[in-house]
Structure 1
Amino acid sequence: MSITYLEAIREAQAKALADDPRVFIYGQDVGNFGGAFKATKNLAQEFPGRVIDAPISEDAMMGAAIGAAIEGMRPIIEIQFADFSTVAFNQIVNNAAALYWRTQVPCPITVRLPAGGTSGSGPYHSQSLEAIYAHYPGLVVMSPATVEDAYSMLLEAVAIDDPVIFCEHKYLYYHLKTDKLPTEAMPVGKARIARPGRDMTIVAYSAMVHEALAVAEELATEGTEVEVVDLRTIKPLDTDTIMASVARTGRLLCVGESFPWGGVTAEVVARVASEGFGLLDAAPQRLNAKDTPVPYHPNLWAAHRPTARSIAAAARNLLRS
């Protein structure tokens, strides 16, 4: 039986609840309704009193989670859309992120952010906020690109004593499937070589990994071998794996769905340019969404974000340089 990316997230939460009585889920409509995307479907019935509906106040939700964590609980907070997490920004970056460094008291909360765009979602339900949270010390930022990682990394997030921002991509919820969930996982902060190659490196994360893999397949028919690196974790960032890949290929293209100013792609390029300049045969490049709010219209949305077509064009330009 196949398991979707969304079902893997639900299964991970069920296992976390079953394995640890300190775990509970808190969020808007997560109870009998099963969550905005049904990521908590049937969990309230299976675990009475531990899958709790929250008021429509992300700020209050995060404050309650931090208080619970201080008292020894391990809350999983579902924010309906990543965009709305900014309502709780103060709680996340000033309280949760800094708590251990101020008090030596851990803050083991997991904040699930359904992130990224889908056709017709528009500017308030499509944003990718991983770089904003990665900016702040004290937060771990995860961005799984596969069904297997969605499951294993969410379990890791709950087990970690630090607050974790778990960026799960809405477009992948039903587009990815696997036959079996993993029993072992790569460590937190370790990137994955999704496809080996020798001619150039494409570093990507979340849904962009699959666009990059499609490009690698296309360019392979032209005799070009592209290595695709899936970051998996935005913070900590696995610079060693990135550098090793660039050392093999001599060229770097970093792709992200978020806005272009600053961000994960900028950080990757900056690290490679400053720490591995001698490894490069051409200037490192990056590709992001357009520097505008995310459009509603499906055709505009398709032109706004990186796609296999635009990534392939950028890759060919880099190969010619």
Structure 2
Amino acid sequence: MRRFLWGVIGICACLLTIGVALADSDGTWDVFLERGTSDGADSLIFVDVLTGETHEMVTHGERYTRLRNGILYYDSSQQAVLFAQPDQAEPQAHPYIHMDPDARRIDWTTSDDKRQIAWTLTYGPPEAITTVTHVLSADGTGPHEVLSDGPQIGVRVLPIAFSDDGNRLFVDMYPDGLERYVAYSQYAGLHQLDLETGELTPLPGEPGCFCGAGIRGNSFVRLSLNSDPSAFDVRYYNLASDRAVTIPAQGFNNFTQAGDVLLTSDGLQAVYALSDVSDFGTAQQSIRTVFMLVDLRAMRQRPLTEPITTYVH
């Protein structure tokens, strides 16, 4: 059996590794991503952990995503979705996920077990946006369209996550183009899409502020603006029982940017990044970031780390 591990190499002389074991065939591999080599390209480095054999691929990519047996990413130089595997000499076009020549953007997400993939293709100008959503399931039926939304003014559908049973897809009605101006993953109006009926319904409390959120199992965690501009409440919703709790903010002077919410697999804890950004976009820009830990049993939040001088994802 092949176990496939995904890691990330930080370019600033330190190695950051994130790994998950996956089942496939013939071998065991670690995968590392080296960002921004001398010519501006990236490197995907596959390491056979049994033999030490190394296979390196030069890539020009973004949104690197681990699948069950390879790495999916968007190649901006080719405007194509490519798939890299350790037994291939070069990345290849993914057999199902393609950038339509008439589309101007593609986004995707995967289920936790990597057996399902959802992707959206965005068409049209900002004043008339249409988004088409497809899902590729593990049952071998191939990709199928599950939603066509639009035309909308300034909003596109963004896939976020699958439910545990794979029957629902969580999506955001995302302000198109705003991702260029924010440091963290933030959402405007989260919905759930029933993949059998096609029914699209807003999640509890939505639409909310353009703030961070995370969904795992039946736990829906939403950051919410507080009356203090440098503090975020955490709103917790149990999607099975309709239970709703607001966890009060902990204020930090000038920490006004927050997002990238992650939940544990049991849905009992969450963490998010909270940053203080001064002189944004100038040569004097400075950043301080803390991790905030959210205990969803005790219903409280607290800082997990001392401030560090960078964004953290």
TM-score between the two structures when normalised by the length of structure 1: 0.28
TM-score between the two structures when normalised by the length of structure 2: 0.28
Q: Which has the higher contact order (CA 8 A, sep 6+)?
A: 1
Q: Which has the higher helix share?
A: 1
Q: Which has the higher strand share?
A: 2
